Amino acid sequence: MPVEYIPRTRELYSGYTPYRWVVNRDTPPWTPLAKPLAQSKVAVMSSGGILYRDQPRFHREDASYRAIPKTATQDDLSVWHFGYRTADAEADHNCVFPLARLRELEAEGVIGELADPAYSFMGGVYSARKVREELAPGIADELKRAHVEAFYLVPA
Amino acid sequence: MTSALDITQAVNPPRAVFVNFPLGHQTGKPHQPDLQRQIVRDALRAFETIGKPGTIVELPYVWDANDRQWEATDYTGDFLPPRPPKEDADLVEAERRARFGESNVK
């Protein structure tokens, strides 16, 4: 049985005002993939709180995101997040931010192109409104300008 | 990509791929590139195979063949890491900035 995160989050954060989970009952919006993946430009974003080199860390209620060069390697990256156990992601960022794997899949032609930059934010943002009205539109604008055709989101 | 099935069912995104691993391992275990690559490939393949909005594909990977009960206690009790005091956080950040000082960054 998969972990039931909604009730367990309520228990773990019992000292706080209960989180209002996002519940969408309508059929989600749908954009079909226009071309095969092998010809598509794919961008990646992780909510794992990944930082590149000397980028500033995240703060409480921080709906900002960081642009990370797609060539970044393990030594370039660190993790800043309070909502999950980050030790494994710190040891190998590919646990939540599979940049090295995506570069390999790009080289093998599985995806047409890995978009540069990749993105990360710190997913422990309590305000769903901030995510919906600030973070998401900002990213969507960047992706449209870059002609990205598939967006791979990795929540941590 | 998700490891939190109930949250993803509530959010109801256009398409998703579920891997039943503990938080922080959505694309695999550390230093296991073959596993990571399989998961990422499976996730990307879903862009081509999912045709119905709201579909969640469940991947077959098993976190620990010797522990089929990890879900019973994970994300409970003392799961949350203690938040470092601001002074410690500032120190970590200062060290990082020094290591990658502006002169070192392209």
Band (pLDDT 50/70/90 cuts) for residue A94 is very high
Is some CB atom of chain A closer than 8 A to the CB atom of B19? no
For the stretch B50-105, pLDDT in tens is 999 999 999 999 999 999 999 999 999 989 878 888 999 999 999 999 999 765 55
Taking alpha carbons only, the member of B27, B33, B94 closest to residue A97 is B27
- C-beta atoms of B97 and A54 within 8 A: yes
For the stretch B3-48, pLDDT in tens is 999 999 999 999 999 999 999 999 999 999 999 999 999 999 999 9
Buried b vs exposed e over A90-103: b needs ≥16 C-beta within 10 Å? bebbbbbbbbbbbb
Nearest to B27 among A26, A83, A94 (CB): A94
Ordered by start, the domain boundaries in chain A are 34-154
Is some CB atom of chain A closer than 8 A to the CB atom of B99? yes
Chain A residue numbers with beta carbons less than 8 Å from the beta carbon of B26 are 95-96, 154-156
- Rg of chain A over all Cα atoms, to the nearest angstrom: 17
Please state, in angstroms and rounded to a whole number, the distance separating the CA atoms of residues B13 and A146: 22
3-class secondary-structure state, position B42: helix
pLDDT of residue B102: 62
For the stretch A105-143, pLDDT in tens is 999 999 999 999 999 999 999 899 999 999 999 999 999
pLDDT of residue B104: 53
Chain-wide mean pLDDT for chain A?
A: 96
Please state, in angstroms and rounded to a whole number, the distance separating the CA atoms of residues B30 and A92: 5
B66 vs chain A: nearest CA distance in angstroms?
A: 16
Chain B residue numbers with beta carbons less than 8 Å from the beta carbon of A3 are 4, 22, 71, 74-75
Is some CB atom of chain A closer than 8 A to the CB atom of B75? yes
A150 vs chain B: nearest CA distance in angstroms?
A: 8
Its ipTM equals 0.96
Is some CB atom of chain A closer than 8 A to the CB atom of B95? no
Band (pLDDT 50/70/90 cuts) for residue A43 is very high
Within the 34-63 window of chain B, which residues sit less than 8 Å (CB to CB) from chain A?
36-37, 39-41, 43-45, 47-48, 51, 53-54
pLDDT of residue B106: 47
| DSSP string of A86-140, one letter each residue | -HHHHH-GGGT--HHHHHHHHHTTSSSEE-SSEEEEBS----HHHIIIIIHHHHH
Residue A51: exposure state from Cβ atoms within 10 A (0-12, 13-18, ≥19): buried
H-type alpha helices, B12-106: 33-49, 70-73, 86-99
For the stretch A72-93, pLDDT in tens is 999 999 999 989 999 999 999 9
pLDDT of residue A44: 98
A43 vs chain B: nearest CA distance in angstroms?
A: 11
Q: State chain A's maximal CA–CA distance in angstroms.
A: 49
For the stretch A57-66, pLDDT in tens is 999 889 999 9
